[in-house]
Structure 1
Amino acid sequence: MDDQVLHSLSNTLLSQGFHVVRFNSRGVGRSTGRASFTGLPEARDLQDVVQWSMNQVPNVGTLALVGYSHGCLPVLLHPLHPQVHTVHILISFPLSPLPLLTAFHSSTYTSALSALTSNPQARVLILYGDRDQFTAVGKYHSWVNAFKANSVDCVQVAGGDHFRRGEAGAEMRNTVKEWLNHH
């Protein structure tokens, strides 16, 4: 919740007129509960938070679900909202460590990603850096090539590492801002 990447993106989203809700996953910070290691209960938590938030803000036009690193996993499992334009933004998707992060339930997430990216109504932005400490850029290139025919925008941030510091962070924020304006 207090991660610098999410904090900087929150400011970008607020400047675009979005309401922003950030929360800690179970067992992080002062939140209650324990991490599940599969991410499935955390995905249900996200759905509950989104539903609660949608009830607090009338006339939502666009629901932007933003996940960074491990936070991409619950975002990926969040369905398109039936009455609201929904976009998914995945930043520094943990491609290489996915099996370990999900207690070897990675097929759940690859299936969800396949379903999402093959849905013609879905709008998905995937941002990754060419200097990510956890996933080699070549692995990202192979992975994103599978999405070229779908309504998925994949953007490599030059000089971007997993933590989006410095100019790579500014490029990430500008890319998100421009992409949201376009979609």
Structure 2
Amino acid sequence: MSRENCTIETSDGVHLDARVYKPTTTATSSWESNCAIVTVHPYSILGGCQGLMRGIARGLADRGFLALTFDMRGVGRSTGRPSLTGSSEVRDIVSVCKFASQNLSVNRILLVGSSAGAPIAGSAVDQVEEVIGYVSLGYPFGRLASILFGGHHKAILQSPKPKLFVMGTRDGFTSIKQLENKLKSAAGRVETHLIEGVGHFQMEGPAYDAQMVNLIIGFISSLLDPGS
């Protein structure tokens, strides 16, 4: 695995600090070689940053997949200011996806959002043609979190693109019942994976990176491999 630093400019002139994690081994299948996995970190205002996605990105690269992390606007070395609801950050994700498509020779992208990064990423899914699927790690569907991020729910629930929702059964922001009720109305292929006895922030920790990598690879492989 090799890592490259880069700066990505958004449509409204913000400069994002990003990392590209490239696999050191040749892709085992042709469908792996032209795809990328773009990760979206948790809520900027509460300290979310691309460093929290580093373990997952490294794990993906070690398994042969190109992965990207980036700091959304106002985080780390990225310019601009974070927005309270993540509305401006949707532009950041779209710009990173377009960068991957135009500069990294990929034509298929999987979006992976963690915590508050999940609803923000969900709003970008249908804005990028190259995005073929979506993975949520701890989507905050609960009532309190929806005050901030409820405006993003409709976009991902109505998207026809395949989606996987991963959540701990002790998630403090979303109950299993809330997750199930929300996903009843979701369009297209919808999968869920519950991790027994695990809380929201616990699942974000490095102890679960390997499990998240396995789930992400299993999902994207089912989308890309014509023989699966």
* TM superposition score normalised by structure 2: 0.66
Q: Which amino acid aligns with 1:22?
A: T
Q: CA RMSD in A?
A: 2.3
Q: Deviations over 1:133-158 (max 9, x none)?
A: 222233223333444x7301111112
CA distance in 2 between partners of 1:99 and 1:85 (Å): 25
Counterpart of 1:182? 222
Counterpart of 1:171? 211
What SS does the corresponding residue of 2:211 show, helix, strand or coil? helix
CA distance in 2 between partners of 1:112 and 1:85 (Å): 14
CA distance in 2 between partners of 1:160 and 1:146 (Å): 26
CA distance in 2 between partners of 1:99 and 1:137 (Å): 15
What SS does the corresponding residue of 1:43 show, helix, strand or coil? helix
Q: Which amino acid aligns with 2:197?
A: G
User: Cα offset for 1:89?
Assistant: 0.8
Counterpart of 2:118? 72
User: Cα offset for 1:168?
Assistant: 4.9
What is the number of equivalent residue pairs in this alignment?
170
Residue ranges of structure 1 left out of the alignment (5+ in a row) = none
What SS does the corresponding residue of 1:25 show, helix, strand or coil? coil
What SS does the corresponding residue of 2:67 show, helix, strand or coil? coil
What SS does the corresponding residue of 2:57 show, helix, strand or coil? helix
CA distance in 1 between partners of 2:180 and 2:162 (Å): 19
What SS does the corresponding residue of 2:166 show, helix, strand or coil? strand
1:143 aligns with one of 159, 165, 182 = 182
1:131 aligns with one of 170, 192, 207 = 170
Counterpart of 2:68? 21
CA distance in 2 between partners of 1:169 and 1:45 (Å): 24
Counterpart of 2:57? 10
Counterpart of 1:112? 155
CA distance in 2 between partners of 1:14 and 1:8 (Å): 10
User: Cα offset for 1:81?
Assistant: 3.9
2:200 is the alignment partner of 1:162: yes
Identity over the aligned pairs, expressed in percent? 25
* TM superposition score normalised by structure 1: 0.80
Q: Is the 8 A contact 2:138 2:167 kept in 1?
A: yes
2:98 is the alignment partner of 1:98: no
Residue ranges of structure 2 left out of the alignment (5+ in a row) = 1-49, 224-228
User: Cα offset for 1:128?
Assistant: 0.8
User: Cα offset for 1:169?
Assistant: 4.6
